[in-house]
Structure 1
Amino acid sequence: MIAAQQLDALDPQMRQLVQSLLAQVQQRDAEIAFKQALIDKLTHEMAVLKRLKFAASSERFASTLAPEQRSLLEETLDTDLAELSQEIERERGNADDKDKTEKRQPKRTALPPDLPRRDVAHEPVDTTCQTLGCGQPMQRIGQDVAEKLDYQPGVFTVERHVRGKWACRCCSQRGEGRLVQAPVPAHVIDKGLPTAGLLAHVLVAKFLDHLPLYRQERIYERAGHLIARSTLAQWVGECGAQLQPLVQALADELRRHVVLHADETPVAMLKPAHLRDGKTHRAYVWSYCTTSANPTKAVVFEFCESRSGENVREFLRLDTPQAWQGTLVTDGFSGYHATTTLGVTSAQCMAHARRKFNDLWAHHGSEVGRKALRYHQCLFRIEREIDELPADERRRIRQRKSRRVLAVFHRWLLAQRQLVPTGSATMKAIDYSLKRWKELTRFVDDADVPISNNWVENHIRPIALGRQNWLFAGSLRAGKRAAAIMSLLHSARINGHEPYAYLKDVLERLPTHPASRVDELLPHRWAPAS
């Protein structure tokens, strides 16, 4: 390092240049140290997963799980390992060619000759010899063929990517010729066997149709080509790593809006500490989305180990200078309360308050429950009438109609509260609404705030249904990957896109798409490639 006396001896211009270079070196050293620490962390996680995979294959452990559970765990570990490998490779950057050649590549089994094949031609744009002073047309002297496995429901086909080789006969005779060939098309899995269509089908089947990989393995075998679930797991892991920047951009887009829904649902997760006895831990999938009146349709799922309100604060970045400021529409769960002390306005769900009175009427024939339901019926009927109106008109009608209904309803609740026995179910239903009255009626003064949280509950319902097929999430990383991919698929669905077509197009474009323009691939902005 240059001593201070040596710097002082330099002229001002040179001293400024040296100081600038030293600052760049220090910054580069810090970046290298950070990347190395991250690589070490990921490498350690990969070593742990490899030990878990060995433990999962042991006879003692295998006896603690049903065959379906063991299949799910094995595919989760394979997928996590593939994703970790992809992340480590990305952090290390482009390795030396020597390292790439020394890496042992598994021998790929040739694709069955009986599968239908179609050729995809790749030829140079210009086949005129560019050698100085030549300009003669080049001759095709051969070709390279790379086969990729494609799949349409029930039918496997093979894409033969044919890259013609072109050379100038005139220059070749003089020993000056050069070979011209179209470049290898970029692929989301470098040198991978599957097409983007097959990858999209695997991801949609697993994360939207809730088909575990061991079931997909059987489906593909019936279609004429067996794909090992370990291979499918590797594809899922690598795609999950490649799609992560797009999911992060979707979450950033969501945080730009001032009114959001939030909800959570439990899922089972197998933790490393519980691996040997096969016990699961209760984890949660949190859902955040824009409102139904917002022209930007987006939903983001977050997989977390607990139901703590800290998860909400982290997603909304409430402890950072970029803290989200707006109105959060939720149910009555206390975990959301801590956000109100950090600048978030709370709006709660009138539909949840209604359910308390519906239970009274349905289970006990309560007259209080029946009358309360009439007030809620009136409020929700007003909302249906103004659903398609502009925001200003919605607020005006709410002020004129809904406010009157709520005023009468509130007085009635206070009067009934004095008449019902302490500790009764009726008292609890009334107190639920009275204690949250300010939050429940927030929609009257803000036209962008919905009356209920039903919109986000509709998005999270498919996850609750899918739990019957998942059995459990095999790891925290697997849960986060599933939540990320489901965010893209469900956002595509609510924007009116066919999820398979959207994901297939994104996987085709992502390898060459500029990182600075990744927002163009978000579901609410996506347009099919021409």
Structure 2
Amino acid sequence: MAVPIRPSCCSTTPRPGKEHPLKFLVGYRGRFLQCDAYQSYNALTEIERDGGPWRLVYCWTHVRRRFVKRFESDRSPIAEEMLRQIALLYQIEKTVRGQDAAVRLAARRENAAPIIAALKPWLEAQLSRIPQKSQLAEDIRYTLAHWPGLIRFLDDGTLELDTNPVENQIRPIALTRKNALFAGNEVGAENWAMLASLVATCKMSGVNPIDYIAATLRAILDGHPQSGIEDLMPWRYKQPSSLAA
């Protein structure tokens, strides 16, 4: 499985660096990290850990945005064709969305792998034909530089093509970014981030955040043992039948 990460999720301080995503990933034993091209993530692949180094899975949506901009600004036929190829990948994903990982992987290897196999040499050929200082050339170089992480979805059916699920989860936070300026200090920002993460986790688990927080605080006050902290996680919470009705 892969855990999606974003700079805004990993750091509540103004100082960028790998220590912040490392703090966020404490206890995570998976092999993959689904992320954008935030520079601090590259250093994570060098961390020695049980199970081997993490493998980065990059986001096709971030690649697509670049070529959308090129097509909208320049009407570039290269950008247009790149968008068409990416659309084909997403069409394949649409046919197997929600199915078992084995089914998704089989469909990807049968239908998406040939597209991927032809796409890289095509991009390299286009790069050789255009001005190397152009924005389009930069976009193609960005894509090729992240190629191993972009095609990792062909190796594991649990992986996604993009970070859209986590992007959608943090969108409400991004929309209230100005409010976060009044956190007061780093500790205040950390507390705000933890609460926002808790509320988002409740929503993902189909749990009413207010009911969950109230029940959890009551359990703590009633002496719930620290050794059983896992039982207080949102995904373990069961709403009382009287409220559920």
| TM-score, normalised via structure 2 length | 0.89
What is the match of residue 304 of structure 1? Answer: 13
2:172 and 2:16 mapped to 1: Cα distance? 19
Relative to its length, the structure with more strand (as a share) is: 1
Matched ranges for 1:53-68 at <5 A: none
What is the match of residue 94 of structure 2? Answer: 384
Q: Displacement of 1:414 after TM fit? A: 1.5
Matched ranges for 1:66-215 at <5 A: none
Relative to its length, the structure with more helix (as a share) is: 2
Number of residues of Structure 1 aligned to a counterpart in Structure 2: 235
1:334 and 1:497 mapped to 2: Cα distance? 35
Q: Percent identity?
A: 29
Question: CA deviation digits over 1:75-114, x for unaligned, max 9?
Answer: xxxxxxxxxxxxxxxxxxxxxxxxxxxxxxxxxxxxxxxx
Matched ranges for 1:23-422 at <5 A: 258-265=1-8, 285-286=9-10, 303-317=12-26, 324-342=29-47, 343-422=53-132
What is the match of residue 136 of structure 1? Answer: none
1:444 aligns with 2:154: yes
1:429 and 1:356 mapped to 2: Cα distance? 6
Report if the CA contact (8 A) 1:505-1:528 is conserved. no
1:501 alignment partner, one of 208, 211, 222: 211
RMSD (Å), alpha carbons: 1.7
Give secondary structure in 1 for the equivalent of 2:34.
Answer: strand
Q: Displacement of 1:508 after TM fit? A: 2.4
What is the match of residue 238 of structure 2? Answer: 527
Q: Which amino acid aligns with 2:115?
A: V
Q: Which amino acid aligns with 2:24?
A: F
What is the match of residue 202 of structure 2? Answer: 492
2:29 and 2:155 mapped to 1: Cα distance? 21
1:338 and 1:529 mapped to 2: Cα distance? 45
Question: CA deviation digits over 1:311-348, x for unaligned, max 9?
Answer: 1123334xxxx784511011111110001112111111
2:55 and 2:116 mapped to 1: Cα distance? 20
1:453 and 1:323 mapped to 2: Cα distance? 18
Q: Displacement of 1:529 after TM fit? A: 4.4
Report if the CA contact (8 A) 2:207-2:239 is conserved. no
Report if the CA contact (8 A) 2:18-2:40 is conserved. yes
Report if the CA contact (8 A) 1:489-1:503 is conserved. no
Structure 1 alignment gaps of length 5 or more:
1-257, 266-284, 287-301
Give secondary structure in 2 for the equivalent of 1:524.
Answer: helix
| TM-score, normalised via structure 1 length | 0.43
Report if the CA contact (8 A) 2:7-2:38 is conserved. no
Report if the CA contact (8 A) 1:492-1:499 is conserved. yes
Query: Which protein shows a greater Rg?
Result: 1
2:20 and 2:210 mapped to 1: Cα distance? 30
Structure 2 alignment gaps of length 5 or more:
48-52
Give secondary structure in 2 for the equivalent of 1:303.
Answer: coil
Q: Displacement of 1:352 after TM fit? A: 0.7
Question: CA deviation digits over 1:256-297, x for unaligned, max 9?
Answer: xx41110023xxxxxxxxxxxxxxxxxxx42xxxxxxxxxxx
Report if the CA contact (8 A) 1:351-1:453 is conserved. yes
Q: Displacement of 1:408 after TM fit? A: 1.9
Distance 1:400 1:427, change over 3 A: same
